[in-house]
Chains A and B, each alone.
Chain A
Amino acid sequence: QSALTQPASVSGSPGQSITISCTGTTSDVGRYNYVSWYQQHPGKAPKLILYDVSSRPSGISKRFSGSKSGNTASLTISGLQAEDEAAYFCSSFRPDTTRVFGGGTKVTVL
């Protein structure tokens, strides 16, 4: 049960845009539009920021957007802010286990 692949770290300056990739396989990311993204600040529980590839829950900033191409989903944070510094995890539906996570990406605001 391999995890989805994310870059370990991504950084950007305030106001810039960054993109985090999440690569799976034809059995998960590539097959279903059930990719979700979670933000986790240190010492806190994860928080849902995107679901079904590109949908935002109520209260989540429009600066967060998502897309998918083939086996790779992406999270873009535009207008980077200091409060965006956190770990980000992608997740996909997978029929054999129901869920799988990516390894996580640490976002640093320079």
Chain B
Amino acid sequence: EVQLVESGGAVVQPGGSLRLSCEASGFNFADLNMHWVRQAPGKGLEWISYTNWNGELKYYADSVRGRFTVSRDNSKSFLFLQMESLAKEDTALYFCVKEKAASNYFDAWGQGTQVTVSS
């Protein structure tokens, strides 16, 4: 069974940093592209980051580029999101999302980890 379990969410002050983790199991993590998607309270989904299977190709949404960094450890089946210079607008539930192999859609989502930026 495919499982994606996020962790690392917390309450952090504006300007602070946080590192999110996503532990993957039930599939060949090292073979697949992965994404981070977030959802602000009561709002829609916002795609924020992508990494290809080997971590050499990365993309970011304009809203987080230069502040967030995606990485992965294929030996341990972990996906990470390092977040810097956090602002109130970054308050959201952050989902780790698996991309279907050789496709362009998301076929598995974690339950999310909550990040709250507040003074």
Q: Is B47 an interface residue (CB 8 A)?
A: yes
Assess the A97–B61 pair: CB atoms within 8 A.
Answer: yes
Q: How far is the CB of A34 from chain B (nearest CB, A)?
A: 4
Complex-state Cα separation, A61 to B68, whole angstroms: 38
Looking at chain A's contact residues, the main secondary structure is strand
Contact of B59 (CB < 8 Å), options: A47, A57, A97: A97
Residues of chain B lying within 8 A (CB to CB) of residue A51: 100, 103-105, 107
Assess the B46–A101 pair: CB atoms within 8 A.
Answer: yes
Complex-state Cα separation, A38 to B45, whole angstroms: 10
Q: Is A46 an interface residue (CB 8 A)?
A: yes
Assess the A46–B109 pair: CB atoms within 8 A.
Answer: yes
Complex-state Cα separation, A101 to B95, whole angstroms: 14
Given contacts A97-B61, A98-B50, A57 and B107 within 8 Å (CB-CB): yes
Given contacts A45-B112, A51-B100, A97-B61, A36 and B46 within 8 Å (CB-CB): no
Quick one: which of A84-110 are within 8 Å of B by CB? Answer: 87, 89, 91, 93, 96-104
Residues of chain B lying within 8 A (CB to CB) of residue A93: 104
Given contacts A1-B62, A34-B104, A38-B106, A45 and B47 within 8 Å (CB-CB): no
Assess the A91–B107 pair: CB atoms within 8 A.
Answer: no
**Interface residues of A, Cβ cutoff 8 Å to B:** 1, 3, 32, 34, 36, 38, 40, 45-48, 51-52, 57, 87, 89, 91, 93, 96-104
Some 18 contacts from A to B, beta carbons below 8 A apart, are A1-B62, A3-B44, A34-B104, A34-B105, A36-B104, A36-B106, A40-B45, A45-B109, A45-B111, A48-B106, A48-B107, A52-B103, A52-B105, A91-B105, A97-B50, A101-B46, A103-B44, A104-B43
